Copies of this chain bind each other. A is one copy, B any other.
Amino acid sequence: MQHKYARRANALEPSEMRLILSSSERHELISFAGGLPASELFPIEELKVASQAVLTDHGAASLQYTSTAGYIPLRQAVMERMEAVGIRSNLQQVMITSGSQQAIDLTGRVFLDEGDTVICESPTYLAAINAFNAYHANIVDVEMDEDGMKMDALEKCLQQNPQAKFIYTIPDFQNPTGRTLKLERRKRMIELANQFDVLILEDNPYGAIRFSGTPIPPIKHFDTEGRVIYLSSFSKIFAPGLRLGWICAEEEILEKYAGFKESADMHSDGLAQRITAKYMELYDLDGHIETIKAVYLERCTTMLDCIDEYFPETISCNKPEGGLFIWAELPDSMNAGDIALKCMENNVAFVPGAPFYVRGAQKNTMRLNFSNSNPEQIKEGMKRIGEVLHRELDLVNTSSEELVN
């Protein structure tokens, strides 16, 4: 039978993210495709202790329905973590979500009527674009450089879109580019948001994973008007499988989020919330993050070294100071999507950059994840990509020579 879907469902395309998540389960493949943290670092033994303690001491409460805003000790632990990076909050300003993905989605529900404008970086996180599209948003992208979104371009964009609802930004080790918004631009973004009376959705799942360079306070640190809605997550610093993230925003705004979260899933898994809080009570999450950072630094460095060694010289990349991703640019004439398909045949995966663009996709870009492969896998996988790149580049050069001749 023919189904009468909503318009948003007819527009739904097979998702690259879903392909990534499913391809990540193919064991013969070396995958730099997902945004997966290193599973071998998950604190499994500690979680066994924490889960037994929770079930023994508060079994019934952890398995019963609970409040939509989340388990209070977990929210308190979140407040402490944010205080440490320069964000002051109270309990009513913090809500637990089912991953920060849910927080992104709920932001659409709270703020977006059909046709409303969202401003984002170009390129930006694919699943945020999809979430905003489901609310029929008008997504306008702003150019980036190595230091993040360009503020002169943002100012122009705001002049052209004075009714924009919010600016969506991933300031630290952005997905997909690994770039970080520099300090002066953070201050300038707040100034512009104040001037144009627009909100900022600061999506910061990677900020805690800085393995080199100097930490920069989050944008919300500079917020004096309650204009920044700050999102973060336990996915990259603890365990993504538990689906726990959080929102920090003004109480009045969070009440709207809570109303819609109730329709979305009532509340996030109460057992997972208590286990996470218990883990933080019994163990040292910051110490665990130090371990993650040391491992990711090694992996990032290994991958950068492999780019030097195995990739053609015409390919450039950034040198991220944290996070999970390296962003590489091929010569203009090359299509990373074609390369990705050929790499899959060579049993190595990455994500081409094109889907991360709202418009004007740079098809010569690629996102490389270094967090979820060990140095040996990185060396072998990068060698395989390098082989494909050299082969393809030789073909391109040959055919252009033929054109010349």
| Chain A residues within CB distance 8 Å of chain B | 1, 3-9, 12, 14-15, 17-18, 21-22, 24-25, 34-37, 39-40, 42, 44, 47-48, 51-52, 55-56, 59-68, 98-99, 101-102, 104-105, 109-114, 116, 127, 130-131, 134-135, 165, 197, 199, 225-227, 235, 239-243, 252-253, 256, 258-260, 262-272
Chain B residue nearest to A13 (CB atoms) is B259
Q: Which residues of B contact A263 (CB under 8 A)?
A: 101, 104-105, 127, 130-131, 134
Residue in B closest to A61 when the chains form the complex, CB atoms = B39
Q: Is the interface of A mostly helix, strand, loop or mixed?
A: helix
**Judging by beta carbons under 8 Å apart, are B127 and A22 in contact?**
no
With A36-B64, A39-B63: A262-B130 Cβ-Cβ less than 8 Å: yes
Nearest B residue (CB) for A111: B6
- Identify the interface centre among A5, A47, A68: most chain B CB within 10 Å of its CB: A5
B266 and A269 within 8 A (CB): no
A268 with B243, Cβ < 8 A, contacts A39-B61, A60-B42, A67-B22 known: yes
Contact of A240 among B17, B64, B67, B99 (CB under 8 A): B64
A265 and B64 contact, Cβ closer than 8 Å, known pairs A42-B59, A111-B5: no
Which residues of chain B are within 8 angstroms of A235 by Cβ–Cβ distance? Answer: 65
B65 touches A9 (CB 8 A): no
